[in-house]
Amino acid sequence: MHMQRVLAIINPRAGAQFGSQAAQRLSQIALSREIELTIRPTRADRSINGLLEDAGSFTRVVACGGDGTITAVINGIVGKNVPLAIVPTGTGNVLGQAIGINQDYRQACDDALNDCDLLPLDLGLLNEQIHFALRLSTGYEALVTQDTTREMKTRLGKLAYLWEAARHALRLPSARYRIDVDGAVMRQRAASIWVANTSALGILGLELDPAIRLSDRQLDLCIFKFSAARDMQRVSQWFFRRERLPATIVMRIPVRNYVNIVAAKRQPVQVDGDAVGHTPCRIRVVPDAISVCVPRKP
């Protein structure tokens, strides 16, 4: 793929704050290859959508940051027919890991401007407003995300999430849910509900279930019912043996069109690492929503 004009969205505050170094490296590579590169850093006083108003006039968009930045860029390019390249400089970088992006930002910068293969990526759409590439969750995981501050992530990295997860696990709240999956209604009590687009968890290479894929034209509803007292041993075995999460802990249901989630008591909701509000929520499947650049195999 011959590139002429590339737009790079850089979050200088993401993760270990390698955004400035990544911008410099992208500029050096672009100069050596005669690529017209436009760099736009994210700013508190302007939305990322605003930085991407003319994204359709570029041949590629490069998103440099963590999963939150990547999700914001995805929302800005949906429908603009421009492929996305990823330079992971955030705390989690789960999407980059899931599609095989090098986690060294320097190599990822090279790959972002190289010829590439294009992977069609399904997305979820929350309440017709927010697209997500990884997962939406309610309850326990959303509470952990909500309480993990930017300062904690900067100081502790991924350990920040583990700290909050362990803290909240001591009281593992659960809620009653009414769930409508493609017209089939069920009622469940759960500690957390995920609507997942990928199996990758972003921690030590662990996966939820290999059957959950980014490009299968569906999402997967996962219902967690574990309790610390009953299931912690099984969770520990899963963690240390790198096995899939035990079937007694999670129920997985394919979602081909939509899922509606209503909680008897309002629950927090997160998408791709950012708190976005509370239940109820409606999620629609958007198959092949964007194309993502992946390194071309030799």
Mean pLDDT, range 78-86, rounded to an integer = 97
Question: 278 and 94 in contact (C-beta within 8 Å)?
Answer: no
pLDDT value at residue 273: 81
**Strand (E) positions, the chain?**
5-10, 36-41, 60-65, 84-88, 116-126, 130-132, 135-139, 175-181, 184-190, 192-196, 219-224, 250-255, 258-263, 268-271, 274-278, 281-295
For residue 158, pLDDT beyond 60 = no
d(CA 67, CA 57): 24
Question: 142 and 269 in contact (C-beta within 8 Å)?
Answer: yes
Q: CA torsion, points 253, 255, 256, 257, in degrees to nearest 10?
A: 150
d(CA 265, CA 250): 21
DSSP states of 14-52? STT--HHHHHHHHHHHHHHHT-EEEEEE-BTTB-HHHHT
Least trusted range by pLDDT, from 98-102, 149-153, 201-205: 149-153
d(CA 246, CA 264): 27
Phi-psi region of 202 (alpha: psi -120 to 50; beta: other; left: phi over 0): left
Mean pLDDT, range 58-69, rounded to an integer = 94
d(CA 217, CA 114): 27
Select from 61, 218, 71 the least CA-distant residue to 131. Answer: 71
Domains of the chain and CATH, by start: 5-114 (3.40.50.10330), 130-286 (2.60.200.40)
d(CA 109, CA 36): 15
Q: Answer with the residue of higher pLDDT: 172 or 81.
A: 81
pTM: 0.84
The residues pairing with 278 across neighbouring beta strands, listed in sequence order, are 268
Chain mean pLDDT for the chain: 84
d(CA 124, CA 285): 5
Residue in the structure block whose two tokens are 């990526």: 121
Question: 68 and 43 in contact (C-beta within 8 Å)?
Answer: no
d(CA 220, CA 253): 6
What residue type is assigned to position 36 of the chain? E
Summarize pLDDT for 122-138 with one digit per residue, the tens.
999 999 999 999 999 99
Summarize pLDDT for 181-197 with one digit per residue, the tens.
999 999 999 888 999 99
Least trusted range by pLDDT, from 97-101, 214-218, 227-231, 279-283: 227-231
pLDDT value at residue 248: 44
Question: 121 and 216 in contact (C-beta within 8 Å)?
Answer: no
Mean pLDDT, range 7-18, rounded to an integer = 79
For residue 207, pLDDT beyond 90 = no
pLDDT tier, 201 (very low <50, low <70, confident <90, very high otherwise)? confident
In sequence order, what are the residues at sequence separation of 6 or more whose Cβ sits closer than 8 angstroms to the Cβ of residue 298?
Answer: none
For residue 247, pLDDT beyond 50 = no
